[in-house]
Amino acid sequence: MSVKDKNIIIGVSGGIAAYKIPLLVRLLKKAGANVQVLMTPASHDFVTPVTLATLSGRPVLTEFIKDNTGSWHNHVSLGMWADLMVFAPVTANTLAKMATGQADNFLLAVYMSAKCPVMIAPAMDLDMYAHPATKANLEKLQSYGYDIIPATKGELASGLTGYGRMEEPENIFTRIQDFFAKKNDLAGKKVLVTAGPTYESIDPVRFIGNHSSGKMGIAIAEEAAERGAEVVLVLGPTHLQASHPNIRTVKVQNAAQMYEAVHKEFDNADITIMAAAVADFTPEQTAGQKIKKSGDAMTLKLKATKDILASLGEKKSGNQILIGFAMETENEKANALKKLRKKNLDFIVLNSLREKNAGFKHDTNRVSILTKTGKIIDYPLKSKKAVAGDIFDLVRELKVEG
Ligand code: CTP
């Protein structure tokens, strides 16, 4: 997929790098994109709206109210129109407002209304870029799932030299092209994903479960579907659900049902990702009636469940990709590597329970991925959707490599 016919909003804020944006608009227009430029009032001092309107072929919008008409520009419909929003350049001020959700100009109101992916190319003087507040804001924006295009090193308008230069428009253009290209990189592929906990029944009322919400696996299923794959999601008991027409959900309750459902789908799958938190043990017997209280203690006899992932590792063929998760609390990487080898995986995604804002029930996660070829990649805290993106990017990268 290319940028052709894609709706792209370019948000310009008031930094000297704004003088480079006409080139970005020109490149996008030449490639067939529909470009809508939105500007903050301060950015008019650095590049003229007339230049950008001429190159984009659309009026540039800065204010909520249309000139002399008394009517409003609709920030909600613009937000819905966009396939991608690119903020370039972004000043420290606009960055802070984006991180905290302030909408005191038209550009920010559209940003708050948009549902599309967001790219951010900061540009500022080196001390502002290095300030802990800017760093914290960038981290926060990254955790929302946005793609940060880091500032580069070089001569700055202040005369100082260091990090703070906006990435060159040609490189921002390439990044936009890559974004749309990878959007369809799983077309024709079948992806099998498991998500959520399992509930092992003790009696008709009680069960043994775990804290998994299914958010990570659902994000993986949605990311795969958005990239064009046909997805089967085997989902344990959770109130959450995936929403995409390319996802077929098979609901299961316990580890045994998950085993059956996964094996039914596995032979057709090009890529299988086991994100579910499967019970390792299940009651030896499930009581037909509610167990009544008797005495001061009770003993529940458990038996091991089948390790679904290990059984897939035994039967997988050469061109199937198998990915597992590991949840560890100590010797994380060494234990994850053992699981990768033992279960014959292509890679394993390691979650640590020790990380703040990561793991069960959070919308964000901080993972490391270990590959069978010996790579170990540590990722920063990100939205679970962005983690899902990293997983599929790595699948693509490893395929290219070998
Ligand atoms: N898994 C599975 N079937 C099981 C248990 C786990 O398919 N019965 C999968 C999980 O979906 C996950 C991976 O195995 O992808 C690792 O799960 P984890 O609980 O971290 O590891 P275990 O192999 O169960 O080992 P341990 O509990 O000893 O850490």
- The pLDDT value given to residue 109: 95
Tell me which residue has tokens 């170990």.
376
CA distance 193 to 196: 10
**CB neighbour class for 235 (10 Å; exposed up to 12, middle 13-18, buried from 19):** buried
Q: Quote the pLDDT of residue 91.
A: 97
Give 83's pLDDT tier (boundaries 50, 70, 90).
very high
Q: Is 210 part of the annotated catalytic residue set?
A: yes
* DSSP code string of 69-94: T-PBP-HHHHHHH-SEEEEEEE-HHH
For ligand 1, say whether the CB of 278 is within 6 Å of any of its atoms. Answer: yes
> What is the Å distance from ligand 1's center to 209 Cα?
14
152 exposure class (CB count in 10 Å sphere: 0-12, 13-18, 19+): middle
**What is the distance in A from the centroid of ligand 1 to the CA of 339?**
8
pLDDT in tens, 306-357: 999 999 999 999 899 999 999 888 899 999 999 999 999 999 999 877 777 7
CA 137, CA 148: separation in Å to the nearest integer?
Answer: 11
255 ligand 1 Cβ < 6 A: yes
Pairing of strands 302-304, 281-283: antiparallel
DSSP letter at 290 equals: P
pLDDT per position as a tens digit, 169-227: 999 999 999 898 877 889 999 999 999 999 999 999 999 999 999 999 999 999 999 89
> What pLDDT, on a 0 to 100 scale, did the predictor assign at position 401?
54
Count H helices and E strands in the chain, helices first: 13, 21
Tokens 């302030």 correspond to: 102
Work out the pLDDT band at 400, boundaries 50, 70, 90: low
The domains found in the chain, sorted by start residue, are: 7-182 (3.40.50.1950), 190-401 (3.40.50.10300)
Is the minimum distance from the CB of 309 to ligand 1 under 6 angstroms? yes
Q: What is the mean pLDDT of residues 48-66?
A: 94
**158 has pLDDT over 90:** no
DSSP string, 129-147: HHSHHHHHHHHHHHHTT-E
Q: In the predicted model, is pLDDT for residue 72 greater than 80?
A: no
262 CA closest ligand 1 atom index: 7
In this structure, are residues 343 and 310 in contact, taking their beta carbons and an 8 Å threshold? yes
CA–CA separation, 269 and 137 (whole Å): 40
Global pTM reads 0.75
Find the mean pLDDT for residues 251-257.
98
Query: Measured from the CA of 305, which atom of ligand 1 is nearest?
Result: 8
Q: What is the pLDDT of residue 74?
A: 82
| Helix or strand run (H / E) with residue 48 | none
CA 224, CA 129: separation in Å to the nearest integer? Answer: 34
- Residue 68 confidence (pLDDT) above 70: no
pLDDT above 70: percentage of residues in the chain: 97
CA of 278 relative to ligand 1 center, distance in Å: 6
Residue 39 has pLDDT above 90, yes or no: yes
